Amino acid sequence: MSDEIFHMPLLGDDFPALEVQTTHGPMNIPGDLKGSWFVLFSHPADFTPVCTTEFFAFQKRVAEFDRLGCKLIGMSVDQVFSHIKWVQWIKENLDVQITFPIIAANDDIAKRLGMLHPGKGTNTVRAVFVGDPEGKVRLVLYYPQEIGRNIDEIVRAVEALQVSDEQGAIPAGWPNNELIGDEVIVPPATDEETAEKRLKEHNCFDWWFCHKPLEK
């Protein structure tokens, strides 16, 4: 396999400019999403059990993504008429209307995002890209075809990125961290004077591990 197949945007990179066809019509990504956070996620194929459970779960959490100002976009290398029919099937059989667009990708788009799995034919892996309002890649998750994603973790990650941009680093399991709950971590001191001040200004385990209440 060539390196091109496995290249994917790295954290902090501009999300690759894509002109795509979706179930909601043509889109330019990330251009049409500028000013919004977004989650673009790929799935191996329409009309498959694990993917159906994921789309159901994403749709059930649309309000949570909306609260975060975050748009959802699905994607696979199925043709758009397959996406449309699958969305209809989900509505008719599971009583859930998929309200976000689904990209009908081709192999070139999938390769540009590193989504083609070696040894898995033309099916895309379960990739998740979180982009910020400037179109920068902020988080990437990859799952094998056999493992469905935890959508609550994706919601949590988007919210954590937004809080981190404004307030500080985010601990494990936030907002339910075993040590500091929903508090955020103060950036580490870079000189001795600041290190001493930190101990007086914040809750600290030591000068290099201080935390503060979440600003809500």
Q: Indicate if 204 belongs to the active site.
A: no
pLDDT of residue 4: 45
CATH 3.30.1020.10 fits 168-212, yes or no: yes
Average pLDDT rounded to a whole number, residues 22-46? 95
Q: CA–CA separation, 30 vs 41, rounded Å? A: 13
pLDDT of residue 216: 82
Tell whether the model's pLDDT for residue 120 goes beyond 80.
no
Tell whether the model's pLDDT for residue 42 goes beyond 70.
yes
Q: CA–CA separation, 154 vs 141, rounded Å? A: 9
pLDDT band at 112 (very low <50, low <70, confident <90, very high): confident
Of 51, 70, 204, 210, the active-site residue reads: 51
Which tokens go with 169? 């680093």
Cα end-to-end distance, the chain, whole Å: 48
Tell whether the model's pLDDT for residue 208 goes beyond 50.
yes
Q: For a pLDDT cut of 70, what percent of the chain falls above it?
A: 93
pLDDT of residue 123: 63
Q: What is the pTM of this model?
A: 0.90
Distance of CA 102 to the CA centre of its chain: 15
Domain ranges of the chain: 3-149, 168-212
**Higher model confidence: residue 106 or residue 55?**
55
| Lowest pLDDT segment from 28-42, 88-102, 119-133, 144-158 | 119-133
Q: CA–CA separation, 63 vs 2, rounded Å? A: 40
Q: CA–CA separation, 88 vs 63, rounded Å? A: 21
What is the β-pairing status of strands 70-76 and 18-22? unpaired
**Higher model confidence: residue 145 or residue 160?**
160
CATH 3.40.30.10 fits 3-149, yes or no: yes
Q: Quick check: 57 and 63 in contact, CB under 8 A?
A: no
In the sheet where 184-185 sits, what is the strand order?
Answer: 184-185, 209-212, 203-206
Dihedral sign, Cα of residue 174, residue 178, residue 184, residue 190: negative
pLDDT band at 87 (very low <50, low <70, confident <90, very high): very high
CA distances from 154 to 23, 72, 151 (A): 23, 11, 5
